[in-house]
Structure 1
Amino acid sequence: MNTLIFDLDGTLVDSLEDLAHTTNLVLEEYGFKTHELEKYRHFVGNGATKLIERALPDDHKDLVNEARARFDKLYALHCLDHTVPYPGMKKVIDDLKEAGYHLAVVTNKPKAHAVKIVKHLFPDTFEYVFGNTPYQPKKPDPTLVVLAMNLMDVSKHDVFYVGDSDVDIQTAINAKVKSIGCSWGFRGKAELLKAGANFVVDHPHEIKEIIDDRRK
């Protein structure tokens, strides 16, 4: 095992407050009711368009594309207001990098926002950062995970995909790689176990312990 591909939101970074705040700003501009922070745990995970669709009132779903465009502009300004790595994650990523592991990010977050966050919070660490664009399907489609593996020239047998939701576990299954679920993320341990995660961890240091053990 020499490669880890990570989800971003809810896995590497706690971004829920910034995602919720930005979406609520959009809703306020339309005069719609906003949502409490905890509700956003179940709004995120399938990309920005789905986030906006879930947040909009049922009788205003026709505004999804317009509201999504506004979200993108506002989120570019607010995506690093409160978003930080989960406790212990920065050290684990630095240790994995120093140990020679291949590292990449594959997320459903729009690519521009993903790259900005990763470069700021984990500078010079990940070989590739793939986010959502109009040209590739979103997870759980495995296209971007497979692309990352091909670019890093690694076998699927050498890869763990690390994420915090059932979407991430299904992505790993579709890519035919092993999965590590992060219980500290947006969805929790029960969802990860139900989805079929190979491992579920409660602290970032356990990620390195698992992969080091498999490498022996």
Structure 2
Amino acid sequence: MSPKLDLHHIQAFAFDLDGTLVDSIKDLAISANAMREALGMEHLPLETLKSFVGDGMGRLVHRALTNDHEALAEGHLWQQGFALFAKHYYEHIADYSSPYAGVVDGVTLLRSQNLPVVVVTNKAERFAVKLLADLGLLDEFSLVIGGDTLSEKKPSALPLQHVAEVLNVDANKIAMIGDSHNDILSARAAGAMAIGVDYGYEDMNLLAQDPQTRADVVIHSIVQLYDAVRQDDPQR
């Protein structure tokens, strides 16, 4: 059983994007298969491509080209593949993508409590901004940190350290909410709270088997964050 959600000390919320705020896997998979098709390759199953998401678009392209989680495609092939993927995905970024249930209400409610909400994703910044804009979510967030915004991305502590600096909040008063090992590891490295979601692309039960990737608490809906804030401080 996940521990009780205690947010009395939290002053800002950082959200992962794919698999946490937005279910984007179908558009990512379609673009990956469009890339493969353009290169004369057969399509890969959705579940296979789903397992390749989480470490940024560059790694996704390597994995989609090689059909292997660890292998790297040859340099010229990767460059060609990345250009094909990026063009298709940018043009079709929100064809099938949509916010998960509870996301819009949850984020709006947190903002109503004057709590900063930001996005920290490994997706390239221009794609993250476009996806949020196309879904009408961009104005809800005071900051969007993409995988190429800084010199390091999750699981590095740097993105959350940068958020702490920009918001003038101690890192240990930030909650990082995500669906993957990278989100939890980044939170651990920065000294932030790690909150997992049980509906994303990685299995929180499997991640919990390793203390390093075990979330401090797992939630079913973003709205639970607001409920915990209100419970902790009704006058906030």
> TM-score higher than 0.5 here?
yes
- Identify the residue that residue 39 of structure 1 maps to in structure 2: 48
Look up the match of 1:112.
126
User: Residue in 1 aligned with 2:73?
Assistant: 61
The correspondence for 2:227, drawn from 198, 206, 209, is 209
Q: What's the counterpart of residue 129 of structure 1?
A: 144
C-alpha contact (below 8 Å) 1:103/1:127 kept by paired residues = yes
Per the alignment, residue 5 of structure 2 pairs with none
Q: Check whether the contact 2:160–2:171 (CA below 8 A) recurs between aligned residues.
A: no
Q: Greater share of helix residues, 1 or 2? A: 1
Unaligned runs of 5+ in 2: 1-9
Q: Which runs of at least 4 in structure 1 moved beyond 4 Å after TM superposition?
A: 211-216
Q: Which structure's residues are more often strand, by fraction?
A: 1
Identity across matched positions, percent: 31
Q: For the Cα contact (< 8 Å) 1:22–1:74, is it kept in 2?
A: yes
Distance in 2 (alpha carbons) for counterparts of 1:204 and 1:192: 20
Q: CA-to-partner distance for each residue in 1:176-201, whole Å, 9 max, x for gaps?
A: 10011011001122134231200111
Q: CA RMSD in A?
A: 1.8
- 1:163 maps to which residue? 178
Cα distance in 2 for residues equivalent to 1:69 and 1:214: 48
Alignment match, 1:52: 61
- Measured after TM superposition, the shift of residue 211 of structure 1 is 4.2
Which protein is bigger by CA-based radius of gyration? 2
Partners in 2 of 1:69 and 1:135 — Cα distance? Answer: 22
Could you say what secondary structure the match of 2:18 adopts? Answer: coil
Partner of 1:197: 215
The amino acid of 1:191's aligned partner reads L
Aligned with 1:124: secondary structure? helix
Give the TM-score normalised by structure 2.
Answer: 0.85
Post-superposition offset of 1:119: 2.6
Determine the C-alpha separation between the residues in 1 that align with 2:166 and 2:31.
34
C-alpha separation in 2, matches of 1:191 and 1:176: 22
Q: How many residue pairs end up in the alignment?
A: 216
Deviation at 1:43? 0.2
